[in-house]
Amino acid sequence: MKLWNADRGFGFLACDDGSNDVFCHIRQVEGGYEALDRGDGVEFEVAPGRDGRLAATKVRLIDGR
């Protein structure tokens, strides 16, 4: 997790391969989390978002809490 805005329920994920950051909405986070924290490790899939840019789907927390 690179950046998270808890008030708005979205943030951006940094990709391990150094490619562009990926948008993430809280609805895509599995496990009932209401927010993520900067530095949380996550796994996710990438798909086209509503605006045509890439967005994270099936986001799973892999470390942290």
What residue ranges define each of the domains in the chain, with the CATH number in brackets? 3-61 (2.40.50.140)
Residue 45's nearest CA partner among 31, 30, 32, 34 is 30
Assign 26 a pLDDT band (cuts: 50, 70, 90): very high
Q: What is the pLDDT of residues 31-53, one digit of tens each?
A: 878 888 888 889 999 999 888 88
Residue 5's nearest CA partner among 31, 34, 47 is 34
What is the DSSP-derived secondary structure letter of residue 29?
B
- The answer to whether the predicted template modeling score (pTM) of the entire model surpasses 0.75 is yes
* pLDDT recorded at residue 33: 82
